[in-house]
Structures are given as C-alpha cells and as structure tokens.
Structure 1
C-alpha cells in the first residue's frame, strides 16, 4: 500500500484521522493473518544491574528505580514459568535476561532449560532475548530447540544517541542480521514515545522493512520513576495507534506484536490496537504489570478474533 510520506507524517502528528486509517490497516492485517491473534509471554529470567544506559529502562544499574535485582533464575523456576504459559494456551514464551549478554555459565543453563522445555511442551514455541550474541551462541540456541530470537533496535539510528550511549546501534543491527544468517526466526522492533520525531518513526519503519524480521514487537514508553524519561509524556492513545498503523502499512505481511506499555498508553482504546496488530504480549512485562489473561481473552473475542488462550 503506497501512502505519501507527507500523509504518514500528518497521521503520526495527529493531523489525519487515525480511525479511518485503522480500518485500512485492519483490512491489510486480515489479508495476511485472518482473525487469529498470536499471544506471547515472557519471564524476567535475570533482572537488573545492566551496565547500559538506555534512558527508558528500569534495569540500568545507574538508575535508582527500585526494580528487582537477581541472578539467573533456577532451572526449576524457569521451567515452572514455561509450564504455566503452556497450560494457559499462550503460543510463544521467551526467556529474557538483563545486561549486554549472558555469561557462558548462564548461557549453558539456558540451553539446558530450552532442551528440557522442548521435550516437555512441544507445542509451545520458545523464544529468547539474551542480548548481543555471536554466531556460535545463536547456533547453540537453535540446536537446543529455540524457535525465535528477539533483539530490538529500539529506535531510529538517527535518534538512538539521544537514548543510549553505551551500546552501539550498528552492533544491534549486526546481531539481528546474525539471527537471520543462521536461519533463526527474528523478532526485532523497539519502543516508541521517547521523544522521536514523526520523520524518525518513518526512518525506523524503513529500517525494519529492509531488515524484514518475522515479528515486530512494539513497545510504548511507560515512564518509570528514577529513569531520565520519568516525566516523559510524548504519547496519546491516538498517536500510539497511528504508530501501529504506519508499521502495518510499511510491513503488511509481518507480525506486529503489541507489547509493553499498551495498558498505560492506549487506555480505553486498547482493543483498537488489534486492528493493525495481529499479536499481543500478555501477562506481566519485565518490571511492570500487565493485565490478566482472561481480560485479554475477552477483548480478543469481543473483536470477533480468535486466540489459543484458555
């Protein structure tokens, strides 16, 4: 679908009716994904003490946010979280660790958990978000039975230096490219509402189109006390919806997955996110709470869509 850049900018800036655009995005989404909504959930497998300085993140070690800090959860704890997801009808489940990348010892534990989970819950698709891994580490995850690897670019390259100074955007891109190189499914997106301009939303969408990940996770900033963005207020429900519409127009056949910050930013318009998006992260996020599964199940069904949630 071709839309002039000027119109897209006006849509993001609220100068074009987002509700009309939502119905166009809905048609496009349903062309490729029908009425099925895929769900995913995560476990914060290792929390806090991250040496990076992403301005939105509660887990950066230099910010006083009160976020939990703990080492990698035990195998028993991780398998229990995976079991809960499987029995709830969630389609995908991801192990997420804080930091630039896990230690060799932690990675070995994670590989063992993935192998055991694949045997016990063969229908559940396992994902991981472990930071900037190399080829051999990613291959080991694939061989263990990992379905998909997640690694966000976070935002447009031109805006990234305003958000993070201790990790290189290009290295993030290289990690994402490695995932595709070894044949793992790639989940790669970012977070919106950081203060980026409409042109930078477009820049980011163009980057994702070129990268062509299988899934684009879309987070919206939920300001956390103690972070540099604790007083940010760049988003409205309609602007958040406009971002989703733009991403659907740029990536018509890719999974668009609404993740953290949807409850905080979309408020009473939350159900409308499933017009452009075909997937939801459900349950709790890394350091903030989500909704209960029954509430999301009802929302999906009220829209006339289906999920595997039980």
Structure 2
C-alpha cells in the first residue's frame, strides 16, 4: 500500500490530480500508510508555501436571528441556543477589532454577519465604510462573509476594497438537503461565482462531522476544485446544545488529519486554512495540521465560541519551525 500512496503524491507533484478512488483511499489510510500520506501532504504544502503560514481572524459583526435552518448553526432562529443576539456593529467597532487582529499577526480579517444576506441600505453602507477604513488604516486584507450575494452587492464590496469574499458550501451537494432546507445549494454556488466575477478572491470550504459519508467529503473537494477558489477553510463540527446536531460525535484527530491531507492532494496549490472546531476535534494533535498539508489557521475567537489562547497558538507555530507570513 505504501507504494500506491507514493504514486498518488508523485501524480499530484507532476501536475495531475487524484481520482475519486485515490482521494477516498487517503480518507481510509491507517497506520504507516497514513504516515506516507502525511509526508506527501507536507511536501505538497512546502512546494506551495515553504515554511510560511498565514493567519486569519474574524469578527462576529451581527449575530443571531438567522432565518436559515442549518442544522449545525447556533445562530439559526429555528434552534434554541445560548448564542448571542445583537444587531450589526458600528463601523468604528469593526475597525477597532481589525486593529486588534492585525496586532495578533493576522493578515486577513473577516467581517461575518448572520442572516441569508445583506440587502442594500444602512447595513450595507456601514459595512462598506468599515472595509474602506480597514483598507486605509491597516495592513490587513479585509474579507466579508455576508451570506448570499447579488451581483450589485458583490460589485459594491469589490469597489470598497474587499479583498476576499468568504462563502462556505458547508458540505457536498448530495448531502446538503440533510442539513439545510431554507435555500438551495446552487444559490451558494452562484454566490461564489458572483464574488469571483466581481474581482474578489474567494474563500470557500466546508464543515465536517455533520454525518456526511467519506464519498461526500470527496464530492465537496471536487466541487470546490471545479469552482477554482483561492483558499479553502476547513471546519470540524463543534456540537452546540440546542441544535439538531447537539449529540453528534466529534471526529477523531486522525479523521481530521485525513480530511486535511485529502484536500491538500486535491487542491495542491491553494491556501488551506484550519478554522473552527480544531480545539475539540484535534485536541493534542492540533500542531499536526501543518504536517497534514494546511498552510493557514484561524486565530482568536470564532463566531459564537471562544478560540484557543493566542500565546499557545504562537508557541505551536514556533515549535513547528513555521514562520507567519506578513504579506
């Protein structure tokens, strides 16, 4: 088996892409075979970004009362959770948080709002003002995650200086109806395409541990590859009390590493960032995300849950002989 895994790596290193069966074999690797997979993933990461990693940070700029019924989300109005509920923060507060993110070493700063999307009006104007100020007063690349886009909103964000639009597909097209019934998968795909056509980079990934199959994990990677996005955030379910998935079992650390390695082989030249859920799912193996092919991490707090202590993360990067990319 070791030879076949080396063959997959060699194929990718030569510019070819793994087949679906080869991607599945990565997700099924165990023991020494997994060691070969991780070695190949690390080499592909180094080919792409050497010893440098990028850090990103987000702000929960508008929380709760979301009309969507995503089964994993604490902010859905369909679920009863303890998630905070508040209206859109002011541009002043968003910019102040951006400066704190810049001080932590982040290069990308994501403004995230709950809800299906942001309609033209006061809220959108406030967000555009914040993006312009972040562009003018920090070294950060402002990013936005505002839900489903229209062509007009995408254009306004790009014109204001939004560098990246973040919009996760969450899971495979074939599994999506099992976790969300309030909008269709193609609306998310169209949002990705609108963001790209407006001239923004696109950050698009998913969340794992929702009950999807191994085949559906590969299906998501194939869809993201077809959409030709710039960066891929990988999240692992952190079950929230009050949601339909509150009793879901955590993924094992090895499953998380297999997912990261599969995505690195499927998207060898894209940024792969490990985000929510790493603390609970990876536990003592958090530092292994870079050995599995990730070249980025989210630092600080998440939308409705706290993140890892920044000092502990910075020590982890130093211990791994990794350099934070400030460009």
**Distance of 1:53 and 1:167 partners within structure 2:** 9
Give the TM-score taking structure 1 as reference length: 0.96
Alignment match of 1:187 (pick from 199, 203, 208): 203
Matched, 1:110 2:123: no
* Alignment size in residue pairs: 308
Alignment match of 1:120 (pick from 120, 129, 137): 137
> Which segments of 5 or more consecutive residues in structure 2 lack a partner in the other structure?
1-11
Alignment match of 1:208 (pick from 206, 224, 239): 224
Report the secondary structure of 1:286's partner residue.
Answer: coil
Does the Cα contact within 8 Å between 2:272 and 2:295 map onto a contact in 1?
yes
**Distance of 1:34 and 1:308 partners within structure 2:** 11
Report the secondary structure of 2:147's partner residue.
Answer: coil
Report the secondary structure of 2:207's partner residue.
Answer: strand
Q: CA deviation at 1:20?
A: 2.5
Report the secondary structure of 2:210's partner residue.
Answer: coil
**Distance of 1:261 and 1:92 partners within structure 2:** 19
RMSD over aligned CA atoms reads 1.4
**Distance of 1:25 and 1:306 partners within structure 2:** 18
Which structure 2 residues correspond to residues 283-294 of structure 1 after superposition, within 5 A? 283-294=300-311
Matched, 1:303 2:320: yes
Report the secondary structure of 2:52's partner residue.
Answer: coil
Does the Cα contact within 8 Å between 1:194 and 1:234 map onto a contact in 2?
no
Which structure 2 residues correspond to residues 165-176 of structure 1 after superposition, within 5 A? 165-176=181-192
Does the Cα contact within 8 Å between 1:59 and 1:67 map onto a contact in 2?
yes
Per the alignment, residue 4 of structure 2 pairs with none
Report the secondary structure of 2:303's partner residue.
Answer: coil
Does the Cα contact within 8 Å between 1:244 and 1:273 map onto a contact in 2?
yes
Per the alignment, residue 24 of structure 2 pairs with 9
Q: CA deviation at 1:79?
A: 1.4
> Which segments of 5 or more consecutive residues in structure 1 lack a partner in the other structure?
none
Q: CA deviation at 1:5?
A: 3.8
Report the secondary structure of 1:21's partner residue.
Answer: helix
Give the TM-score taking structure 2 as reference length: 0.91
Matched, 1:72 2:88: yes
CA-to-aligned-CA distance 1:227-266 (integer Å, 9 cap, x gap): 0001111511000110000000000000001000011100
Report the secondary structure of 1:37's partner residue.
Answer: strand
Alignment match of 1:239 (pick from 255, 269, 272): 255
Alignment match of 2:78 (pick from 36, 40, 62): 62
Q: CA deviation at 1:76?
A: 2.1
Which structure 2 residues correspond to residues 6-45 of structure 1 after superposition, within 5 A? 6-15=21-30, 17-45=33-61
Q: CA deviation at 1:7?
A: 4.6
Which deviates the most, 15-24 or 82-91? 15-24
Matched, 1:263 2:279: yes
Does the Cα contact within 8 Å between 1:18 and 1:241 map onto a contact in 2?
no
Which structure 2 residues correspond to residues 90-101 of structure 1 after superposition, within 5 A? 90-101=106-117
**Distance of 1:247 and 1:170 partners within structure 2:** 22
Query: Runs (4+) of structure 1 moved beyond 3 Å?
Result: 2-8, 13-17
